[in-house]
Amino acid sequence: MAALLVGLGATVLGVLLHAAFMRRMSVNLVFFSVPGFLLVALAIAGLAYGWALSAPGVWDMFLAFALTMSLGLCYALVLFGVVHDSPTLALANAIDDYGPAGMPKAAMSDVTARYPFVSSRLEALVTGGQVWFDGTDVVARPGASFLIRLGTAYRALRGGDDPAG
């Protein structure tokens, strides 16, 4: 249980620290600094949990480290898509901007003009059932809007640019 609490706490703390300092970093360091922030956060979380007072087992330390680094890698992969405006994220944001009714198909040409790789990603999303065409609209799966709002909140936290690009 200690490894789980320390690992999750370190991941959350590391991501928040990284987001807070990311604006001050050079572009080359944005992705490569993630493990460093996670290790610092892991040390802080371990101290906060009381591992300084009672020596944890090697297995607890390993599990906390593995959990933190695994979740940190997931964060880094999502960060890559957010920072570089992945086609999926651009498409999801464009559809979400129109609300639950969906985006008119006619507006898709504007999106594909701004993001040339969106067309192939749109086909993959339709095939996967994440979006569908409803008459003249492109509609996202209902649960997707929560993830989009979460991504938008993260962009605001890190001082990101306009979600449209």
The CA–CA distances, whole Å, from 19 to 6, 97, 101 equal: 20, 24, 33
Percent residues over pLDDT 90 in the chain: 13
Has residue 141 got a pLDDT over 50? yes
143 burial class (0-12, 13-18, 19+ CB within 10 angstroms)?
Answer: exposed
Contact criterion met (CB below 8 Å) for 15 and 34 = no
Per-residue pLDDT at 75: 87
Has residue 145 got a pLDDT over 70? no
Token match 């371990």: residue?
46
Has residue 12 got a pLDDT over 90? yes
Per-residue pLDDT at 165: 44
134 burial class (0-12, 13-18, 19+ CB within 10 angstroms)?
Answer: exposed
Domain ranges of the chain: 2-83, 87-158
For the chain, strand residue ranges (E) read 103-104, 131-134, 137-140
Amino acid (one-letter) located at 64: A
Percent residues over pLDDT 70 in the chain: 80
Per-residue pLDDT at 40: 92
What are 18-73's pLDDT values in tens digits?
Answer: 888 887 887 677 778 889 999 999 989 888 887 766 777 788 888 999 999 999 98
Beta-carbon contacts of 84 under 8 Å, excluding residues fewer than 6 positions away, are none
3-state secondary structure at position 8: helix
3-state secondary structure at position 99: coil
- pTM comes to 0.52
Per-residue pLDDT at 85: 61
CA atoms within 13 A on the CB side of 79: 21
